Amino acid sequence: MTPEREEQLIEQAAQFIVQRDLEDLAVIALEGTAPFGDIVGEMGIMMSYPLAVTLFSRSGGDFVKMLGFNYEVNAKRLQERVEELAEEKRKRQRKLREMEKQRDDKEGWFSGFSSWLRSLFKRPKGKEC
């Protein structure tokens, strides 16, 4: 497998993990299994192949092979990329919160209070009385 293809697969998996807020679970799984890289890599091919193909379609088979044959190095690369993307996501969320706070501050105290009241009495989506 070419290094470019490995990078592409790691990026795809990292994006998948971060989009679904699975960063903590992925870090725990990758850190916890890294010392047993050879065993996990070989067993992981058998156990994770159906799941990887389901989640990543055609790339799933390549992803499992990539992790399986050089597990420790590729798991570390995946973990680092997940942490980078998660940090970027946290920065974007902080920036959005700051922008919302600034907007609420500009609108005045009453509009902030009224939006707070609306949020208290907001009906959950999909539920009818």
* C-alpha to C-alpha distance for 83 and 18, rounded to whole angstroms: 9
Q: Which residue has the higher pLDDT, 22 or 37?
A: 22
Q: At 22, list the tokens.
A: 């699975």
CA dist., res. 110 & res. 11, Å (int)? 45
- Comparing C-alpha atoms, which of 27, 32, 45 is closest to residue 81? 27
Q: What would the DSSP string read from start to end of 78-93? A: HHHHHHHHHHHHHHHH
Task: Please give the mean pLDDT across all residues of the chain.
Answer: 80
pLDDT at residue 62 above 90?
no
The answer to whether residues 100 and 32 touch, using CB atoms and an 8 Å cutoff, is: no
Domain boundaries of the chain, sorted by first residue: 3-88
**Residue 7: predicted pLDDT:** 92
